[in-house]
Amino acid sequence: MSIFRNKTVWITGASSGIGEHLAEQFALEGAKVIISSHEPEELERVKQKLEPVSKEVYPVEFNLGDPDAVQAAADHVLKEFDGVDVLMNNGGISQRSLVAETPVELDRKIMEIDYFAGVILAKAVLPGMIERQEGWFGVTSTIAGKFGFPMRSAYSAAKHALFGFYESLLAENHRFGIRVTMFSPGRVRTNISLNAVDKEGKARGVMDPGQAGGISPERCAKIMVRSLKRGRRDVLIGGKELGMVYIYKYVRKLYYKMARKLSPY
């Protein structure tokens, strides 16, 4: 029997890409799945897609960039579902703009979506997990959360911040049966580069060539769920691009040389 059977799993960014396939994987595991994003029509599509697998898929629509809406969604979920066993903080937004041309308002927007929204949700569900002496946090970061990368300053900063927050959360709450798994995908064929914002805060609308050749979101989601079941805490997902993580960790001087020459796409 799956460890997620009859557990309540809440997934943000679930209307497409990795989040959509996470919903499918957890449904196959027999979980009660709450799917969230700011796209109600797409959430309904995902729900209908999963109906042959599970009748317990529940859309909860809200915008990660609106702190009040995030808190209201958390209050609603806790009231309707009597707690969350697994929170998959997966939703987010990327950027493609230089530090010198990015207004601080855009930095704040990206931090709100990629960092603070997940913090609000984590703080909302954590007390119930502590009370039940069990809970999981699955957090979608990126390899750009391990090192800096051109044209992703705010995005990289937000993903770095996730590591600091969840490592602290785990250190404080491990004794209560709380688990944290940080996921750092490299190139995955999703819409994240299409939706990445430029210096004016508009969707760029272009798929990065490297990302187009990345792994499928379905494969990524399968690796994520399998890693949770195995109790892993820090998971790299992708192809040869993951080599940059090891170069940064072990040959820092070479990383700095390479970073200055890297294609931002």
Query: 């703009």: which residue's tokens?
Result: 97
A 10 A CB-CB count for 131 gives: 11
Question: Is 265 considered catalytic here?
Answer: no
* Pick from 52, 71, 247: nearest CA to 60: 71
Calpha distance 127→135 (Å, rounded) = 10
Q: At 63, list the tokens.
A: 């915008």
The phi and psi torsions of 35 (rounded to 5 degrees) equal -115, 135
Calpha distance 259→218 (Å, rounded) = 29
* Pick from 96, 90, 97: nearest CA to 113: 90
> Cα dist. 120→65, 68, 141, 172 in Å?
11, 10, 17, 17
Q: Which three-class secondary structure state does DSSP give residue 4? A: coil
- Active-site position among 155, 166, 248, 255: 155
What is the secondary structure of 84-112 as a DSSP string?
Answer: -SEEEE-----B-B-GGG--HHHHHHHHI
What is the secondary structure of 207-235 as a DSSP string?
Answer: --HHHHTSB-HHHHHHHHHHHHHTT-SEE
Exposed/middle/buried for residue 129 (C-beta within 10 Å: 0-12, 13-18, 19+): buried
56: enclosing H helix or E strand: none
Active-site residues, by number, are 155
